[in-house]
Amino acid sequence: MKITFLGHASLQVEVAGKYLIVDPFITANELAKKIDVNSLKADYILITHAHQDHILDVEVIAKNTDAKIVSNYEIVTYYGAKEIEGHPLNHGGSWQFDFGKLTYVNAVHTSSFPDGSYGGNPGGFVLETSEGNIYITGDTALTMDMKLIPMQCKIDLAILPIGDNFTMGIDSAIIASNFVECNRILGIHYDTFGYIKIDHQEAKEKFEDKGKVLSLLEIGASLTV
Ligand code: NI
Ligand code: MN
């Protein structure tokens, strides 16, 4: 499984010959200028919640690629009204897709669309594949519900927000990685806006002190699970 960081909380996951785009917010991200949204490959677009910084480029990618949206019921219904096809999940529910098994899990956050439409409750995704398992928390606080995840699935990579202010910060993310019993972390949701700028070196050292590895990828760079 190859995971490419597209800036902020946006990712491209290549697994089982399929391309998944997660939470695309690219065209308004000054830091992600080198990513060409029109050349992104996508079979599916996974959306954790309805905030602008997670959905901005959903429609353009869906129109370019015919990708199917996977999110909560309310978000899939919202895009369904715009003639974009999707698969609705709700919290605790799983579905076996052609790329792997996806479960929509709890997040503690909010989820309204920029136009005020109801975006359902926010969530994250656990993705189980023949190439490994990852947990994408979405925007969230540290929550005890994270402890439920390793009871059902061994996580190989935890993708955690670390920018603080709107989500967990570094210290909470370290505890989150303990809760999901995973020592390999990809940090997201940092540096994009003034409120969430972080010291990269300090962040890496804090994880290292707990025997964990925090990756902070350059935008456009990838890691392999
Ligand atoms: Ni958010
Ligand atoms: Mn966000």
Instruction: Encode pLDDT of 93-148 as tens digits.
Output: 999 999 999 999 999 999 999 999 999 999 999 999 999 999 999 999 999 999 99
pLDDT, average across residues 39-55: 98
The pLDDT value given to residue 120: 98
The pLDDT value given to residue 3: 98
The pLDDT value given to residue 167: 98
The pLDDT value given to residue 25: 98
Reading phi first (left if > 0) and then psi (alpha if -120 to 50, else beta), residue 147 is in alpha
Domain count within the chain: 1
Q: What are the two backbone dihedrals, phi and then psi, of residue 110, each rounded to the nearest 5 degrees?
A: -130, 175
Ligand 2 ion: residues within 5 Å (CB): 53, 139
Give me ligand 2 centre to Cα 87, in Å: 22
Give me ligand 2 centre to Cα 35, in Å: 19
- At 74, which CATH number? 3.60.15.10
Q: Is the pTM of this model over 0.85?
A: yes
The pLDDT value given to residue 217: 98
Closest C-alpha among 201, 208, 210, 49 to residue 136: 49
21 contact partners, CB below 8 Å, separation of at least 6: 6, 10, 11, 12, 40, 42, 44, 45, 46, 61, 67
Whole domain around residue 166: which residue ranges? 2-224
Q: DSSP label at 63?
A: H
Q: What pLDDT digit, counting tens, does each position of 3-24 carry?
A: 999 999 999 999 999 999 999 9
Q: Which ligand is nearest to the CA of 25?
A: 2
Q: Which ligand is nearest to the CA of 164?
A: 2
The pLDDT value given to residue 98: 98
Give me ligand 1 centre to Cα 224, in Å: 26
The pLDDT value given to residue 71: 98
Give me ligand 2 centre to Cα 166, in Å: 7
Confidence of residue 36 (pLDDT cuts 50, 70, 90): very high
Give me ligand 2 centre to Cα 194, in Å: 13
Q: Which ligand is nearest to the CA of 109?
A: 1
Q: What pLDDT digit, counting tens, does each position of 160-214 carry?
A: 999 999 999 999 999 999 999 999 999 999 999 999 999 999 999 999 999 999 9
